[in-house]
């Protein structure tokens, strides 16, 4: 019998990180998935022993032929002794996903068979409905994407810490941020997810558990000032995810930020953001338009 996911999810015993870095140590992020078809094209996160969460824009088809999910992978170019791989048996993307607005950019992948949990392969917890991620709290994003916009992809899994940017502030830059989205980045730029990181997890730590707040979705360039990365807000999709995964459901955790959410009274003229107008074609972060920048 598989234990309740809320008891085992989000634990990374090999993760000893306190501040940011470049290369992630093996086992630091045991839920990280690499989605491949003739090479890596998107990230994802393991949410139980049979399902991976990713972005809807990573898939333009429900045909599972030719896709492989790698878990426990560290190096895209070298050996990975802790790795397990699976083909995909089902692709279920959100029915209301819009490729124009990037709203509802979330997708579930059912693996061909269950994976075995180890120190290097384990599910992440998911933010439950009503979770709060106040402006300024630190989350982490991981992936093998490019380390600059249009640059080379990373071989070793990358990690970067980013502050959450409130939706009101984020919308000053993009003009199309919905309640289904969450933003993270520095007003000065320099750190971000980028091309090839799409579908990967944005996570925050609560107690001993890591909780996924977002799924890498889109952005204006990578790591530009006043243009934080935009992610699908996981807490908005608890009902949808549990409607698809009806047995051994993922571990949803109520994530609560301390203090007051400064974004509640933010106006576009307030620092650190100014009234910046974004291109309406801010690209989704699917390869070759996705990765960790500014490491």
- What is the rounded CA–CA span in Å between residue 50 and residue 116? 10
Please compute, for residue 263, the number of CA atoms within 13 A of its CA located in the half-sphere on the CB side. 21
Query: Which one is catalytic: 103, 105, 171, 290?
Result: 105
Query: Which one is catalytic: 45, 131, 135, 198?
Result: 198
- What is the rounded CA–CA span in Å between residue 287 and residue 235? 25
Query: Which one is catalytic: 34, 40, 45, 57?
Result: 57
Place of tokens 């071989």: 155
The question of whether 148 is a catalytic residue gets the answer no
CB 153 within 8 A of CB 76: yes
Question: What do you get for the CA distance between the two ends of the chain, in Å?
Answer: 42
DSSP class per residue in 4-68:
PHHHHTT--TT----S--SBPPTTSSTTEEEEESSSEEEEEEE-SSSEEEE-GGG-S-S--TT-E
The question of whether 57 is a catalytic residue gets the answer yes
- What is the rounded CA–CA span in Å between residue 283 and residue 267? 25
Active site amino acids: 57, 105, 198
């Amino acid at each position: 019998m598989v234990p309740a996911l809320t008891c085992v999810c989000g634990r990374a015993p090999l993760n000893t990180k306190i501040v940011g870095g470049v290369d992630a140590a093996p086992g630091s992020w045991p839920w990280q998935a690499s989605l491949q078809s003739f090479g890596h094209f998107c990230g994802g996160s393991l949410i139980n022993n049979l399902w991976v969460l990713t972005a809807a824009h990573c898939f333009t088809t429900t045909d599972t032929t030719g896709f492989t999910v790698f878990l426990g992978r560290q190096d895209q170019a070298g050996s990975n002794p802790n790795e397990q791989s699976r083909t995909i048996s089902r692709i279920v993307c959100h029915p209301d996903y819009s490729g124009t607005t990037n709203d509802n950019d979330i997708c579930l992948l059912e693996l061909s068979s269950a994976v075995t949990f180890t120190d290097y392969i384990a599910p992440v917890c998911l933010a439950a409905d009503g979770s709060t991620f106040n402006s300024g709290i630190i989350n982490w994003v991981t992936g093998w994407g490019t380390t600059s916009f249009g640059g080379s992809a990373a071989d070793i899994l990358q990690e970067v810490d980013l502050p959450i940017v409130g939706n009101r502030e984020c919308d000053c830059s993009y003009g199309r941020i919905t309640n289904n989205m969450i933003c993270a980045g520095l007003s000065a730029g320099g750190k971000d997810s980028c091309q090839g990181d799409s579908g990967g997890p944005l996570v925050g730590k609560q107690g001993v558990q890591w909780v996924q707040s977002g799924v890498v979705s889109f952005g204006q360039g990578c790591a530009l000032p006043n243009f934080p990365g935009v992610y699908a807000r996981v807490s908005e999709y608890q009902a949808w995810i549990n409607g698809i995964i009806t047995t051994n459901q993922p571990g949803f955790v109520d994530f609560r930020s301390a203090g007051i959410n400064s974004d509640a009274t933010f106006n576009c003229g307030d620092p650190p953001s100014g009234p910046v107008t974004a291109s309406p074609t801010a690209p989704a972060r699917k390869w070759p338009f996705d990765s960790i920048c500014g490491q």
